[in-house]
Amino acid sequence: MRALALVLVAGCSAAAAAPPDDVTELKPVAMAGPYKTLIEGCRAARPCGALDFDDHGDPTNPPAEPNCSAVVKPSLGVASGSAKVVHRLAGGAGEIRIASVTCAVPPRERLEHAEYYVFVQRGDGWWRTETPLWTYAFDDKYCGGGMYITWNDKPTRTIADIAASYGCVACGKQAEREDIVELMLRVEPSGPTPLVFPPLPVGARTKVTVVGSPDKDSMDPDCKPHAKLRSQNESWLSDDIVELSGTGGVGGPLDSTFDISGRIQPAAAGRYRFVR
């Protein structure tokens, strides 16, 4: 089964016009497929994780096959237990599924590790993003993760608005910190192949709460109770251009696999064009 890299191809007779300086382009990620079944598409994904450690404490002995249990049953996902990760397309045209390959963990390790892909079902079969869009990896004794997803269907696109959270005990177990990144994920199921665009971070939230009754005057400032919100307003100027406005954004599209626990920054204010 071949992987199809979806790129914008310029005409042979003339160079493609450069976008205005204030427009950032988002190009679709590579897709693999079509596969006859969902499980076949998952089993063709890369295995992840490790089954043991070497003498230096580095992970070794990777699994031979991916663990697809949470793709078939999303409630088993490390962060997607109650999230609406399966979206049925109108008119019975198929579905979009945000689901995770569960990564192997060495024995006795308190670790939850998974890689999240987008799967798209159409009349010609199942497609999958060639590589995972994001990962979760955390100590399940002191940390946790979750996702909340809402779906918005338009004639030419489907937008998944995702709030992905990561929280841990912090500050010597005197506080709990939760970070939430808000992602815009665009999927276009129709066409010669389905298109999935890199997630665009449009907001980030941080909340620190104190556990117990420590001496707050002597606590590190980062450990004192506080909340921070950085969010961008979204305005669609056309079917393919969205404008973000607000303050505190410094990043851009997340066009390579990223770790949810990495305290991701919202995208900078400006215009973003989805191109094919």
- How many CB atoms are located within 10 Å of the residue 12 CB? 5
Q: Is 10 contained in some domain?
A: no
Q: Is 165 contained in some domain?
A: yes
In a 13 Å sphere around the CA of 256, the CA atoms on its Cβ side amount to 0
- How high is the pLDDT of residue 3? 40
Nearest to 167 by CA among 193, 141, 202, 135: 141
The pair of structure tokens assigned to 171 is 């500050």
- Report H helices in 101-197: none
Q: Is 168 contained in some domain?
A: yes
Query: Are 127 and 33 within 8 A, CB to CB?
Result: yes
Residue 135 has pLDDT above 50, yes or no: yes
Residue 7 has pLDDT above 80, yes or no: no
Q: Give the separation between CA 16 and CA 224, rounded to whole angstroms.
A: 52
Residue 1 has pLDDT above 90, yes or no: no
Q: Is 15 contained in some domain?
A: no
Q: Is 175 contained in some domain?
A: yes
Rounded to the nearest angstrom, the gap between the alpha carbon of residue 224 and the centroid of all alpha carbons in its chain is 30
The CA–CA distances, whole Å, from 206 to 132, 154, 202, 263 equal: 25, 31, 14, 9
pTM metric for this prediction: 0.86
Which residue range(s) make up the domain with 250? 25-274
- How high is the pLDDT of residue 168? 92
Q: Is 53 contained in some domain?
A: yes
pLDDT band at 155 (very low <50, low <70, confident <90, very high): confident
Q: Which residues contact 42 (CB under 8 A, 6 or more apart)?
A: 66, 68, 71, 72, 99, 101, 117, 119, 128
Task: Please give the mean pLDDT across all residues of the chain.
Answer: 87
Q: Is 144 contained in some domain?
A: yes
* Stretch 78-90: mean pLDDT: 83
Q: How many degrees, rounded to 5, is the angle at CA 260 between CA 256 and CA 263?
A: 100
* Stretch 75-89: mean pLDDT: 84
Q: Give the separation between CA 20 and CA 238, rounded to whole angstroms.
A: 15
- pLDDT per residue as tens digits for the range 221-245: 778 888 988 889 999 999 999 999 9
Q: Find the distance separating the first CA and the last CA of the chain, reported in whole Å.
A: 22
- How high is the pLDDT of residue 54? 81
Q: Give the separation between CA 28 and CA 157, rounded to whole angstroms.
A: 13
pLDDT band at 216 (very low <50, low <70, confident <90, very high): low
Q: Give the separation between CA 38 and CA 125, rounded to whole angstroms.
A: 8
- pLDDT per residue as tens digits for the range 85-130: 999 998 888 999 999 999 999 887 888 899 999 999 999 999 999 9
- Number of independent structural domains in the chain: 1
Q: Is 231 contained in some domain?
A: yes
- pLDDT per residue as tens digits for the range 187-196: 999 889 999 9
Instruction: Give the dihedral of Cα atoms 120, 121, 123, 124; nearest 10 deg.
Output: 70
Number of H helices, E strands in the chain: 2, 20
Rounded to the nearest angstrom, the gap between the alpha carbon of residue 115 and the centroid of all alpha carbons in its chain is 9
